[in-house]
Amino acid sequence: MKYNYTIMKSPVGDITLIADNVSLRGIYWPNQKPDRVKFPNLENKDRGPILKSAVKQLEGYFSGKRKEFNLPLKPVGTEFQKEVWEALRSISYGETVSYGDIAKQIGRPKAVRAVGAAIGKNPLSIMIPCHRVIGASGKLTGFAGGLSTKAFLLNLENQTDSH
C-alpha cells in the first residue's frame, strides 16, 4: 500500500502525518526512534482530504481551540495493542491516568508492563492520547515525542481546559 504524508509545523517541532485514502494511519515526532512505527512507501506528499483535515484539527488543538478529533483513524497493531489504544481514547482532555488504570480498564490489572509497551507503539499520538498516561507516582514517563513534548501537551490541555 502507498501512503500519503505531509509535514506539519507545530509548537513541538515538525510532525509527519501519514494517511491512506480513507484514514489517518500515523503521526511521527521529530527525533523519534525510526523503528517505533514503520510505514513503507511514503510517496504522495501533501495529498488527500484526510491529511488536510488532520492538519487543520491539530492546528486547532495546538491553539487551544480543539479538545476532540473527528477523523477516521486506523492504527496498525496487534489485537492487544488496539484494545489498549481504544482505552486511551476514553481519557478526557486535560485528564491523566496511570498505566495501571488502563490495565484495569481493559480487564488485565496485572498487565501494566504490557500496557506500557503497547502504549509505546501507539502510532497516532495526540489523536489517541497516550500523552495523558503517566506513572503511578505522578511522574511523566516515556513518550515518542520526548518527555518535554509530553509535558508541553499536558500543560496545553490544562491551560485551555479552564476556558
Q: Which residues are catalytic?
A: 130
Strand, helix or coil for residue 7: strand
Strand, helix or coil for residue 54: helix
Would the CA dihedral through 99, 58, 44, 2 be positive or negative? positive
The residue behind cell 481504544 is 86
Of the candidates 26, 27, 30, the residue with the CA atom closest to the CA atom of residue 13: 30
Q: Is residue 154 a contact partner of residue 131, using CB atoms and an 8 Å limit?
A: yes
